[in-house]
């Protein structure tokens, strides 16, 4: 089964045919009850599948050298899951570290396990004890977000290489000006626009309105005119569609478009991606637009302002300017005035001896 989902049609990833039934139930709970985003559900699916593949080896259901993709987990039942203990959780996290999983990846895996076993223990009462209770890996060190500078952003927009230029230029313009997520961009419909705003459906199906600046409005107007002339429109409500098939662009296709544009701008191989364009939008708004944290929080669709505050740590230009604004910053070194060196030494000596 593919580990990549269609964020617009997440049902295409279901049903989950290679994991225990209890895990399937939990993923459906996340989807329909908790209304987690398709990407979140998919991430939990991958982490839980990895854990139970590890447990299948520990339970000697398969050999240690078995191909993980060939391990059948469907036979694992509630009784076996109830036998899992805290030691098993620690062993899996240690295994993950041995597999070069960093602290953030291990914390994510623990979060998936904590959610699943919490569900089994408190929501459906299928197990008596939660083996993840009181397990903590500490707070992972937050890495500063990677972003394009203003000059790099301009270079990217100048070097769009595409057979559908207006569409791809519009995609980059929205990323760099609105700070939307990849899943949010591909799910945009024509009906989501009103006056100079766009309705964005973010994580947890939460909606927010983002104002469009003149660059976005011009790019959208130019693209919509070309889009309307496509002879084979299939997904008529979708904003971004394929020129060849007329269907809504997938997240993977947008990633490829961004990668190609980065390459033509000489910015490939530097770790940039659609999500880094989101970071870029937030950074440039903060650095050049005097945008406060609460406003930036609403634009980005963050649930807590603490998530947004990471952008306060990347404004090096403002930090430099603040230091240089000190009234003492212009003081220059001046040589000492001539004095009697012997008299100075004698005075110092008297201070040292307490005379």
What residues are annotated to the active site? 181, 203, 275, 278, 302, 311
Which pair of structure tokens corresponds to residue 212?
A: 């469009």
Give the C-alpha separation, 2 to 187, whole Å: 20
Taking the CA atoms of the chain, what radius of gyration do you get in angstroms? 28
Residue 64: CB atoms within 10 A of its CB come to 7
Only one residue has tokens 């700070």, namely 179
> Are 223 and 189 spatial neighbours (Cβ–Cβ below 8 Å)?
no
Secondary structure of the chain: what % helix, strand, coil (to 5)? 55, 5, 40
Sign of CA dihedral 119, 125, 126, 132: positive
Separation CA 290–CA 297 (nearest Å): 14
Name beta bridge partners: 208.
Answer: 200
């Amino acid at each position: 089964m593919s580990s990549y989902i269609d964020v617009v049609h997440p049902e295409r990833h279901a049903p989950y045919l290679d994991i225990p039934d209890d895990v399937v139930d939990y993923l459906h709970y996340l989807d329909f009850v908790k209304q987690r985003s398709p990407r979140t559900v998919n991430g939990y699916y991958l982490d839980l599948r990895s854990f139970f593949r590890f447990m299948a080896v520990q339970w000697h259901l398969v050999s240690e050298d078995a191909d993980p993709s060939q391990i059948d987990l469907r036979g694992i039942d509630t009784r076996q899951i109830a036998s899992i203990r805290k030691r098993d959780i620690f062993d899996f996290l240690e295994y993950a570290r041995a597999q070069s999983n960093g602290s953030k990846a291990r914390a994510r895996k623990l979060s998936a396990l904590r959610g699943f076993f919490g569900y089994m223990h408190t929501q459906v009462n299928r197990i008596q004890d939660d083996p993840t209770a009181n397990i903590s890996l500490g707070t992972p060190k937050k890495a500063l977000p990677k972003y394009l500078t203003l000059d790099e952003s301009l270079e990217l927009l100048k070097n769009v290489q595409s057979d559908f230029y207006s569409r791809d230029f519009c995609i980059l313009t929205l990323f760099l000006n609105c700070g939307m997520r990849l899943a949010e961009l591909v799910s945009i419909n024509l009906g989501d626009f009103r006056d100079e705003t766009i309705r964005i459906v973010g994580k947890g199906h939460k909606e927010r309105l983002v104002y469009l600046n003149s660059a976005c409005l011009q790019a959208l107007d130019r693209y919509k005119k070309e889009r309307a002339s496509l002879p084979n429109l299939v997904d008529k409500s979708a904003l971004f569609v394929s020129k060849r098939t007329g269907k809504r662009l997938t997240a993977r296709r947008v990633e490829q478009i961004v990668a190609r544009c980065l390459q033509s701008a000489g910015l490939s191989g530097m770790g940039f991606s659609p999500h880094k364009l989101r970071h870029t939008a937030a950074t440039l708004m903060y650095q050049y637009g005097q945008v406060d944290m609460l406003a930036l929080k609403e634009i980005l669709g963050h649930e807590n302002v603490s998530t947004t505050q990471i952008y306060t740590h990347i404004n090096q230009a403002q930090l430099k300017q603040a230091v240089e604004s000190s009234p003492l910053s212009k003081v220059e070194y001046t040589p000492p005035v001539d004095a009697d060196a012997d008299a100075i030494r004698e005075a110092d000596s008297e201070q040292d001896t307490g005379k």
